[in-house]
């Protein structure tokens, strides 16, 4: 990666602070640091009124730091943009795969959002956080029988992904002899291409998710005859970290055609879910649309298309993950050793890595970083930030621009709220970091740091091995 900072210009970590705008509210997905970020008189980064260095002293390192105001702002911008631009009913649901834990679910639910879950574990988390089941949508391309039964009994909406699941679900409902008929939506693959990483594209035809659009007639004919289930709508999701606006416009148009076709089979589908996918800023050169700019055209296309086809406006649902949580969070690490290889590079090592942020090694994702205790120091060094795992590929950031650093400095990696904690592991038996929620100068623990005892909690030592261990 080539440095984006011309050497003659001396930037500092302060360049990443949100730029206050008089004209428009800042869209969290367009900022690198959380919206409340400032620098105090000690030249330290402050988030949610809390000094990041002090947070690390108090809660340990590495540490996920979540800014409540940024998260709530993103929720409100989605919710209010739909209210503003859409004349029908709307519901924003949070794709909890981005970060599933009790506190995050509780915050988004308190802003009126629903939750998208993709496993029994995520469903359990959402229900435990107090999310109402009529606002929970259960996705997944291979739900187990146990998960389907759990979803039915919890009374959430099941987003059916394929024929096998549809037939299994009908059989389960019949066998339960229950009076209730689960609400379902049908996930379809729209065949819409967008330019994002291959692993996070889902809407093109060669995808493991959703019914093939070629099956639409057969599908609607089948569903219209099933009294065991209550089919309320259609769903599609075309991919993640998308900056283009056209794919979702196209999607909205295609989905209204599906509603029209369903009507010809006597199916009155009243809900339409356009998925998530809005991109965020990981670096200063990323330029995603704001939340409002993403919502507006989707509403316009659906309203126009429905008016053209004489269809009533469906309840419009979207399910963002990344753009709701990513920029509300940073990860703070402590700098340890450094290795300078003359004429090649300098490695600066931190106390975490691919176990708390697997995105660089998985998707070659690029992150930006600041030194929390040297915010206005000029960035004079180009170094490679290495994780502490026994793996050469465990590099968090190549060619990072930093001020001169020393052991004990606090390195903050920005925009780590989405798909970091949720994809974290215990590789090399590292314990997962703690997470704190910051607001108005107060910090609350939302995830306890794992202990060594936690790491062996699920281990079983067969009796015949205990002898050898104690010898
Ligand atoms: N709805 C469905 C059905 C999805 O599969 C996803 C993401 C979303 C909504 C939310 O998409 P978002 O708004 O977050 O783009 N681990 C990858 C991202 C995988 C996304 C999977 N599905 C990463 O770290 O980039």
Query: Which residue ranges form the domains of the chain, and what is each CATH number?
Result: 28-65+331-455 (2.40.37.10), 139-320 (3.20.20.10)
- What letter would DSSP give residue 421? G
- The alpha carbon of 339 and the centre of ligand 1 are apart by a number of angstroms equal to 36
Q: Whose CA is nearest to atom 21 of ligand 1?
A: 200
Give pLDDT, residue 471.
Answer: 54
Supply φ then ψ for residue 390, to 5 degrees.
-80, 70
Q: Please indicate whether residue 240, judged by its CB atom, sits closer than 6 Å to ligand 1.
A: yes
Show the tokens assigned to 455: 């790491």
Task: Return mean pLDDT, the chain.
Answer: 94
Q: Whose CA is nearest to atom 3 of ligand 1?
A: 237
Q: Please indicate whether residue 277, judged by its CB atom, sits closer than 6 Å to ligand 1.
A: yes
pLDDT at 116 exceeding the cut of 60: yes
Give pLDDT, residue 8.
Answer: 58
**Size (the chain), residues:** 471
pLDDT (average), residues 104-128: 98
Atom from ligand 1 closest to the CA of residue 323: 13
What is the 3-class SS of the chain, one letter each residue? CCCCCCCCCCCEHHHHCCCCCCCCCCCHHHCCCCCCCEECCCCCEEECCEEHHHHHHHHCCCEEEEEHHHHHHHHHHHHHHHHHHCCCCEEEEEEHHHCCCHHHHHHHHHCCCEEEECCHHHHHHHHHCCCCHHHEEECCCCCCHHHHHHHHHHCCEEEECCHHHHHHHHHHHHHHCCCCCCEEEEEECCCCCCCCCHHHECCCCCCCCCECHHHHHHHHHHHHCCCCCEEEEEECCCECCECCCHHHHHHHHHHHHHHHHHHHCCCCCCEEECCCCECCCCCCCCCCCCHHHHHHHHHHHHHHHHHHHCCCCCEEEECCCHHHHHHHEEEEEEEEEEEEECCCEEEEEECCCCCCCCHHHHHCCCCCEEECCCCCCECCEEEEEECCCCCCCCEEEEEEEECCCCCCCEEEEECCCCCCHHHCCCHHHCCCCEEEEEECCEEEEEECCCCHHHHHCCCCCCHHHHHHHHC
Atom from ligand 1 closest to the CA of residue 187: 3
Q: Please indicate whether residue 353, judged by its CB atom, sits closer than 6 Å to ligand 1.
A: no
pLDDT (average), residues 201-226: 88
CA distance 133 to 156: 5
pLDDT (average), residues 6-13: 73
Bridge partners of 443, per DSSP, are 438
Q: Please indicate whether residue 419, judged by its CB atom, sits closer than 6 Å to ligand 1.
A: yes
Q: Whose CA is nearest to atom 24 of ligand 1?
A: 419
Give pLDDT, residue 191.
Answer: 82
pTM here is: 0.95
436 C-beta neighbours (distance < 10 Å), count = 24
Cα separations in angstroms, 378 against 14, 33, 293, 408: 9, 18, 34, 18
> Half-sphere exposure (CA, 13 Å, Cβ side) for 39?
18
Q: Please indicate whether residue 321, judged by its CB atom, sits closer than 6 Å to ligand 1.
A: yes
- The alpha carbon of 360 and the centre of ligand 1 are apart by a number of angstroms equal to 16
Q: Please indicate whether residue 140, judged by its CB atom, sits closer than 6 Å to ligand 1.
A: no
- Evaluate whether 47 touches 438 at the Cβ level (below 8 Å): yes
Cα separations in angstroms, 303 against 89, 276, 313, 387: 12, 19, 7, 49
Which residue would you say has higher pLDDT here, 4 or 13?
A: 13
Q: Catalytic site residues?
A: 390
pLDDT at 4 exceeding the cut of 60: no
Q: Please indicate whether residue 148, judged by its CB atom, sits closer than 6 Å to ligand 1.
A: no
1 pLDDT tier (thresholds 50, 70, 90): very low
> Half-sphere exposure (CA, 13 Å, Cβ side) for 82?
22
Bridge partners of 346, per DSSP, are 340
- The alpha carbon of 429 and the centre of ligand 1 are apart by a number of angstroms equal to 27
Show the tokens assigned to 210: 């959703």
Q: Please indicate whether residue 288, judged by its CB atom, sits closer than 6 Å to ligand 1.
A: no
Q: Whose CA is nearest to atom 16 of ligand 1?
A: 419
Which residue would you say has higher pLDDT here, 125 or 10?
A: 125
CA distance 352 to 319: 30
pLDDT tens digits, residue range 240-276? 999 999 999 999 999 999 999 999 999 999 999 999 9
- The alpha carbon of 97 and the centre of ligand 1 are apart by a number of angstroms equal to 7
- What letter would DSSP give residue 283? S
| Pairing state between β 63-67 and 329-341 | antiparallel
- Evaluate whether 381 touches 365 at the Cβ level (below 8 Å): no
pLDDT at 22 exceeding the cut of 80: no
Q: Please indicate whether residue 319, judged by its CB atom, sits closer than 6 Å to ligand 1.
A: yes
Give pLDDT, residue 113.
Answer: 98
Show the tokens assigned to 112: 């009126």
Cα separations in angstroms, 156 against 120, 137, 159: 12, 6, 10
The CA R_g of the chain, rounded to the nearest whole Å, is 24
- The alpha carbon of 203 and the centre of ligand 1 are apart by a number of angstroms equal to 12
- Evaluate whether 317 touches 269 at the Cβ level (below 8 Å): no
**H or E element: which one contains 401?**
strand 395-402
- Evaluate whether 200 touches 242 at the Cβ level (below 8 Å): no
| Beta strand spans in 237-304 (E) | 271-273
pLDDT at 6 exceeding the cut of 60: no
pLDDT tens digits, residue range 330-368? 999 999 999 999 999 999 999 999 999 999 999 999 999
Q: Which of these, 187, 185, 337, 189, lies nearest to 269 by C-alpha position? A: 185
Supply φ then ψ for residue 253, to 5 degrees.
-65, -45
| Beta strand spans in 182-328 (E) | 183-187, 230-235, 271-273, 315-318
pLDDT at 304 exceeding the cut of 60: yes
- The alpha carbon of 257 and the centre of ligand 1 are apart by a number of angstroms equal to 25
ω into 383 cis (within 30 of 0): no
């Amino acid at each position: 990666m080539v440095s984006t900072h011309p050497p003659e210009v001396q930037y500092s970590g302060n360049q990443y602070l949100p730029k206050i705008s008089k004209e428009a509210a800042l869209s969290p997905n367009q900022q690198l640091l959380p919206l409340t970020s400032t620098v105090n008189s000690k030249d330290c980064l402050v988030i949610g009124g809390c000094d990041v260095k002090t947070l690390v002293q108090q809660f340990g390192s590495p540490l996920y730091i979540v800014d409540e105001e940024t998260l709530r702002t993103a929720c409100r911008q989605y919710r209010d943009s739909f209210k503003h631009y859409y004349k029908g009913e709307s519901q924003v649901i949070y794709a909890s795969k981005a970060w599933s834990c009790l506190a995050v679910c509780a915050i988004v639910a308190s802003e009126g959002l629903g939750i998208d879950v993709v496993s029994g574990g995520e469903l359990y988390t959402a229900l435990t956080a107090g999310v109402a089941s009529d606002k929970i949508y259960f996705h997944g391309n291979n739900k187990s029988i146990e998960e389907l039964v759990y979803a039915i009994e919890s009374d959430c909406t099941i987003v059916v992904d394929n024929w096998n699941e549809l037939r299994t679900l009908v059989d389960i409902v019949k066998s339960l002899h229950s009076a209730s008929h689960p609400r379902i939506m049908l996930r379809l693959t729209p065949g819409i291409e967008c330019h994002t990483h291959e692993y996070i594209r889902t809407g093109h035809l060669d995808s493991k998710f959703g019914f093939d659009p070629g099956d639409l007639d057969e599908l609607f004919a089948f569903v219209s005859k099933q009294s065991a289930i209550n089919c309320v709508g259609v769903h599609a999701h075309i991919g993640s970290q998308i900056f283009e606006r056209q794919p979702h416009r196209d999607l909205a148009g295609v989905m209204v055609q599906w509603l029209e076709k369903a009507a010809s089979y006597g199916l009155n589908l009243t809900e339409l879910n356009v998925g998530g996918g809005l991109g965020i800023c990981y670096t200063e050169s990323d330029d995603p649309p704001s939340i409002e700019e993403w919502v507006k055209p989707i509403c316009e296309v659906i309203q126009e298309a429905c008016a053209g086809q004489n269809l009533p406006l469906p309840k419009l649902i979207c399910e963002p993950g990344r753009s709701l949580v990513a920029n509300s969070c940073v990860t703070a690490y402590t700098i340890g050793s450094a290795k300078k290889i003359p004429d090649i590079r300098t490695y600066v090592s931190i106390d975490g890595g691919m176990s708390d942020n697997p995105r660089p090694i998985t998707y070659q994702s690029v992150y930006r970083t600041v030194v929390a205790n040297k915010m206005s120091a000029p960035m004079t060094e180009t170094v490679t930030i290495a994780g502490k795992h026994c793996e050469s590929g465990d590099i968090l950031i190549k060619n990072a621009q930093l001020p001169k650093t020393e052991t004990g400095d606090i390195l903050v990696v920005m925009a780590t709220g989405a798909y970091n904690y949720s994809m974290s592991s215990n590789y090399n038996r590292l314990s997962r970091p703690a997470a704190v929620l910051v607001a108005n100068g107060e910090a609350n623990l939302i995830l306890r740091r794992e202990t060594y005892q936690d790491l062996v909690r699920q281990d079983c030592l067969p009796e015949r091995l205990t002898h050898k261990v104690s010898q």
